[in-house]
Amino acid sequence: MNHREIRMMISALVDRELDRDGEALVRKHLASCDACAAYESEVRTLSAEIRAIPPFKLSETFPSSVLRAVRNEEAETNLWIPVESFARRFVVGLAAAVILFVGLAMTTQPEEPVVVEPYLVGEQADSSATRALLGTEALSKSDLLLAVVSRE
Ligand SMILES: [Zn+2]
């Protein structure tokens, strides 16, 4: 028998519900196990404390006050139900709007920015500035410097 099984029998021992063999078994274990003996002492103390509580009578209004408290709690819960369903619908609506927005953003490609360079169109001057500005590769710092210095 392990400690757990013995502890389940200790409560029965304290309440004198064990037969002679069961009691002998538990007492033998308690003699050799400090932890279970401490548990038995705890159970005996608790049992004695419970028995020491004087009997008391509930007031006449106790059942109706319990009933009233339960009904108030139910009413409060019912008060929150519409709020919760509204919140749920709001969250679902918001999620749908986000999905719709993201879907639209993904299907409608942003228009290519139209770069209008009227001051460069048609003017094929071989200036460094034009070459620098029309160059397809990224402008380097020296390109810009050259364009500024050699401005005509
Ligand atoms: Zn034990």
Interval between CA 7 and ligand 1 midpoint (Å): 7
Give the model's pLDDT for residue 32.
96
pLDDT in tens, 95-123: 888 888 888 877 776 666 666 665 655 55
Interval between CA 36 and ligand 1 midpoint (Å): 4
Residues 6+ apart with CB under 8 A from 9: 18, 22, 25, 26
Interval between CA 42 and ligand 1 midpoint (Å): 14
Residue 124 has pLDDT above 60, yes or no: no
Interval between CA 51 and ligand 1 midpoint (Å): 26
The predicted model scores a pTM of: 0.39
Number of residues that make up the chain: 152
Interval between CA 2 and ligand 1 midpoint (Å): 7
